[in-house]
A and B are shown apart, each in its own frame.
Chain A
Amino acid sequence: MTSIFDESGQVIPCTVIEAGPCYVTQIRTKERDGYEAVQLGFGEKKERLVSKPLRGHFAKAGAKLARVVREFRGNGIAEMQPGQEFTVDRVFAKGDVVKVVGTSKGRGFQGVVKRHHFGGGARTHGQSDRMRAPGSIGSSSYPSRVFKGQRMAGRMGGTQITVRNLTVVGVIADSNLLLIKGSVPGAVNGVVEIHKLTTQQ
């Protein structure tokens, strides 16, 4: 993340995202696939690292060997052509409201205090080893089991997270960069999906 100044001199925290160029690798149609969507490829990959079937898939569309392939639904898919290029300024403009979908940073095996914001136990009053303990996980003879969904320690992070209602504060067309106000899920250099929202959600 970094920050920029707006017209009035206010500092705006923002995330810099390389958003494009993306190439249309396939068009999904109602007749053939049962749904309408556009498949976009982003990034580049060396030829020897792409499997032969995928190479054929990209060649058919006349697109570059993409690192990431994702499908998007929306309007105007019927007019798109395989191999068509999308640059950041064709899709986004300053002031747009977007949602960003990404994979959050993996935190490994974490206790309940970090993972579920439990309060932990008392540090004093004769306690020992209770500081970050979860406490009771249920009643005893009835129900004689632990309910499903009981929050416990375990793997944290590394899951899909969506952040809605982020604002585009800048578009730099020549380097395909998008400036989004606030933070987005995932690590530096991670891959995210950006969806334009027509209304606030």
Chain B
Amino acid sequence: MEKIKLVEATQMKSGIPDFSSGDVLNVHVRVIEGDKERIQQFQGVVIARHGAGMNATFTIRKVSDGVGVERIFPVHSPRLAKIEKVKEGHVRRAKLYYVRKLAAKAIRQKTNA
């Protein structure tokens, strides 16, 4: 088992901010188009963190032009240039799947953000 940790250690990033469900994050995603690379920002509420170590992921939800958009990112993905914590939220649950049914204002109130 230590051998697996050895391999994972080479893959894992350091300096990832400590964040949890309810926080608002701004994620800088590297987008490769042809031979060009640019940064795309995706800002929204963390509604879930999943897994541990190398396989950890998090789900971010934002409402774009009235349409809810959710993206799942691996925490240690090299495609993520930067994870920025915009606001700290205060929630009572680890998984905020119920916010999908709520209006934008209600989400703000729920997450205290």
The interface of chain A, by Cβ under 8 A from chain B, is 2-5, 8-9, 11, 16, 18, 170, 172, 175, 177, 179, 188
* Known A5-B77, A170-B7; further 10 A-B contacts with Cβ < 8 A: A2-B54, A3-B55, A4-B7, A4-B54, A5-B74, A9-B30, A9-B78, A16-B3, A177-B3, A177-B7
Decide: A175 and B6 in contact? CB cutoff 8 A. yes
A17 nearest in chain B by CB position: B3
Does B79 touch A at the CB level, under 8 Å? yes
* Number of interchain pairs (Cβ within 8 Å): 37
Decide: A9 and B4 in contact? CB cutoff 8 A. no
Known: A5-B77, A9-B78, A9-B79. A177 touches B6 (CB 8 A): yes
User: Chain A residues with Cβ under 8 A from B6's Cβ?
Assistant: 172, 175, 177
- Which of the listed residues A2, A4, A8 has the most CB atoms from chain B within 10 Å of its own CB? A2
A-contact 0/1 string along B1-45, CB 8 Å cutoff? 101101110110000000000000000001010000000000000
Decide: B79 and A188 in contact? CB cutoff 8 A. no
The interface of chain B, by Cβ under 8 A from chain A, is 1, 3-4, 6-8, 10-11, 30, 32, 54-55, 74, 76-79
Known: A8-B32, A9-B30. A2 touches B4 (CB 8 A): yes
Chain A min CB distance to B28 (Å): 13
Contact of B7 among A2, A8, A11, A188 (CB under 8 A): A2
User: Chain B residues with Cβ under 8 A from A18's Cβ?
Assistant: 3
B80 nearest in chain A by CB position: A9
- Complex Cα gap A2–B15 (Å): 22
User: Chain A residues with Cβ under 8 A from B8's Cβ?
Assistant: 2
User: Chain B residues with Cβ under 8 A from A8's Cβ?
Assistant: 32
Chain A min CB distance to B40 (Å): 13
B54 nearest in chain A by CB position: A2
- Complex Cα gap A8–B31 (Å): 10
- Complex Cα gap A98–B4 (Å): 20
- Complex Cα gap A188–B1 (Å): 8
Contact of A4 among B1, B3, B11, B30 (CB under 8 A): B11
Chain B min CB distance to A48 (Å): 26
A8 nearest in chain B by CB position: B32
- Complex Cα gap A172–B30 (Å): 28
Decide: B3 and A175 in contact? CB cutoff 8 A. yes
User: Chain B residues with Cβ under 8 A from A11's Cβ?
Assistant: 74, 77
- Complex Cα gap A175–B7 (Å): 10
Contact of B54 among A3, A170, A175, A179 (CB under 8 A): A3
User: Chain B residues with Cβ under 8 A from A9's Cβ?
Assistant: 30, 77-79
A6 nearest in chain B by CB position: B78
- Complex Cα gap A124–B80 (Å): 52
A11 nearest in chain B by CB position: B74
B32 nearest in chain A by CB position: A8
User: Chain A residues with Cβ under 8 A from B30's Cβ?
Assistant: 9
